[in-house]
Structures are given as structure tokens and as C-alpha cells.
Structure 1
Amino acid sequence: MKQALVFATNNPNKIAEIQEQLGDRYVFRSLKDIGCTEEIPETADTLEGNARLKARHVRDNYRQDCFSEDTGLEVYALNKEPGVGTAHYAGPHRSAEDNNAKLLSELGPRKDRLARFRTVICLVQGLEEQLFEGICEGRIATCPLGKDGFGYDPVFVPTEGDGRTFAQMSRAEKARFSHRARAMAKLEHYLKRQQDAAHPSV
């Protein structure tokens, strides 16, 4: 029997990335699928805190085990900003174009453009909570490049790549380096261990 998973988001880009990675191994549902239409507050001052808030909201109000993620872009020359404020760096309207423009403006002509993406996933099953982290080191380009991806993908160049931004890569190429994919791989490994323990081979 496939394990049911609720992902505490309605972001279609994140859903597509996770669905592609999970494939048909799980019964996958979004917030919309379980009837959760309210805005879940993200008021914590850490990625871990926001991931926990979203996952716990679903568990407490909808009685569904779920996982949630929060992702931050940390630019070293900017004291790891935008960090927990990544999604609304340029304002509450959460415009990716405006966020990228502000980031490039804040960096200006600096040569130190090192940065990293960090994703934290919180899995809530009943009263149990588990955290999984994925990190992708890279640098910020001097201008947006590429038309695929979302968020800061047009300005983020992963260190392990070939010099292209995430937005210049296909989804499969991005998954090789993606912070979110790495955090998801840890979540998958944990769930598989649970399944193996519950159904040991004879």
C-alpha cells in the first residue's frame, strides 16, 4: 500500500518538483487537496520554525500527517540575507522579479557573491516531529539568466554545476544539485526505513 503524504503548500512549482521526485511511490496531496485554503502564518525567525508552524497547523487542524518546508537564500556578503525573509525580500507581494532586482541592487558590484540555498523540511506524524536539511552552495550572478525555474533561480549559480543558473537548467538537471531535492532525499530515506521496519521481509 502506498503511503499518503500531505505537502503543506499550494505553490505549484514546489509541488511539481516534489511530485517529480516522489514519482508514484506515494499518494501525494497538497493543502488544496485536503481543503486547507487559509493562509498559514510564517512568523518564526528561522527556517526550522516556519516549517514546523506549517506542518503542525495541518496536523492540529486537519488531523493529517504531513510535511512542510521552508527555504532561504543566504548571501554571505549580506550577512546571510534574505534568509528567512527570502520569499518577501522586496515586500509582502512576494514578487520573484522584485526580489531578484533588490538582491542584485544590494550586492551591487561586489566580487564576493557566494551564497547558498538552504531547505528545512519538517515531518509531523502524530506527536512525532523530524527535521531534514538540504543545502546547495553557489554564487549570485550579476544579472538574471534563464527562463525556467522560479524564485531566485535566474540569479543562482550552483557551485557543482557548469556555470549555468538554476533557471537555465531543466528540472531534472536542477534536481541533481537542488537543496530541496537533497532535503527530500533524506525524508524519503526516513520514510523507507519506517516502511521497512513496519513490514520486514520474511
Structure 2
Amino acid sequence: MAPQIVFVTGNENKLKEVKMILSPSEGEEEKFTLINQNIDLDEMQGADLEFIALSKCKQAVAELPKGQPVFVEDTALCFDEFNGLPGAYIKWFVKSMGVDKIVQMLAGFSNKSAQAVTTIAYADSEGQFHTFQGITRGKIVNPRGPQTFGWDCIFQPDEGSGVTYAEMPKSEKNNISQRGRAFAKFKQFLYAPK
């Protein structure tokens, strides 16, 4: 039986997306089973996205049985005009303000450019930590598409056909999104011959 890897998340949409990205390619043998656990981790403060993800992963390791492979994923939305803010705090901005007010934050500025960044921190069964990061450039736009997944409806990637993440089919989004890119690196690492 394939070993289990724990993904620390309580977000069902995120779990579905990650399972899709990490599933074996055609003809590839399944090397692991992905399960999730909703562990309440401290939200680290800071601008260093790798530090935040590693800190969360270390907390998760302490909560799980010794030797249990585990990973956390942290996603940031960084506005160029605000020198990278809201960054790692975007989840809390969306929760407390909503996407319409986030768009309004940039109303007085011509620069709507942003980058979406996903950082994965993984602890293997030996207790070694590894990080993987994906970045997608784009711009902040008025909400378009379903408002069911964070800030997807206000981020229009530079690549693609001029639509927001929320307007894209999942397979198209996964090919160009910061999460898709970070997890592609992670998948390559997990499926590499050991």
C-alpha cells in the first residue's frame, strides 16, 4: 500500500485542487496516498513567505506521529503598488473585507499589477524539510466569475485568455496558477526516483 502524506488543510476546494494536481500522470504508479488533516496552526506574521510556510510545517510535524510525511501550503497575493502587501495576509483581508473592498484598495492607483505566490513546505519521513514555490503575475480586476474560492474572482493572470482564475476551467487554472506551479515542482520531487 502506498504511504500516506498528510496535507494540512480544512479547505475542501484546496484539497480537491491539490489532489487533482498531485495525482499520478497516465501510466505512472501511485507513490503515495494524500489525506488531509485540519490542524489549527498559528498564523505566523511576516513578509518572508518561505519562513511562514516552514514555521507552519514545523508545527504540523509536532502535532503528528513521528516520521509522518506532511506538508502545508501558504498562498499570498502581493500588490506591486503596496510593495507586496497584503501578501500572506490576503486570507484575512478576504475574510474581513470581502473581495469588492480589496479591489477598492487600488482604486486611486493606476498600477493594478500583482503576483500570486504559493509556498509549500514539506517534511519527509526522515524529518527533512523541503520548500517549493510557484509565482504567477497578473492584475487585480473587478470581481468576475464565481466568488466561491478566495480571491480567484479578482485575479486575472497575465497568461491565459484575459479571464480571472474564477472564470477558468480548473485544468486551465492549474496549468498557469501559482499553486499549480508550486505543486508541479513538489510532484516532480515526490515522483523522482529515490
Q: 1:123-202 maps to which residues of 2 (within 5 A)?
A: 123-125=122-124, 126-141=126-141, 143-147=142-146, 150-193=149-192, 196-197=193-194
Shift of residue 54, structure 1, vs aligned partner: 2.3
Contact 1:149 1:166 in 2 (8 A): no
Length, aligned pairs only: 184
Structure 2: which 5+ runs fail to align?
25-29
Q: Name which of 47, 50, 65 aligns with 1:48.
A: 50
Aligned mates of 1:173, 1:77 — CA distance in 2: 28
TM-score, with length taken from structure 2 = 0.87
Partner residue, 1:57: 59
Of 111-120 and 60-69, more deviation after overlay is shown by 60-69
Cα deviation, 1:129-159, whole Å, max 9, x if unaligned, reads 1110000110111x10001651111110010
Q: State the partner residue of 2:27.
A: none
The aligned amino acid for 1:172 is S
Which structure would you say has the larger RCO, counting Cα contacts within 8 Å and 6 or more residues apart? 2
What's the RMSD between the two structures over aligned residues? 1.7
TM-score if structure 1 supplies the norm length?
0.84
The structure 1 residue matched to 2:80, chosen from 76, 80, 84, is 76
What 5-or-longer segments of structure 1 have no aligned partner?
A: 198-202
| Corresponding letter in the other structure for 1:80 | G
Identity of matched residues, %: 30
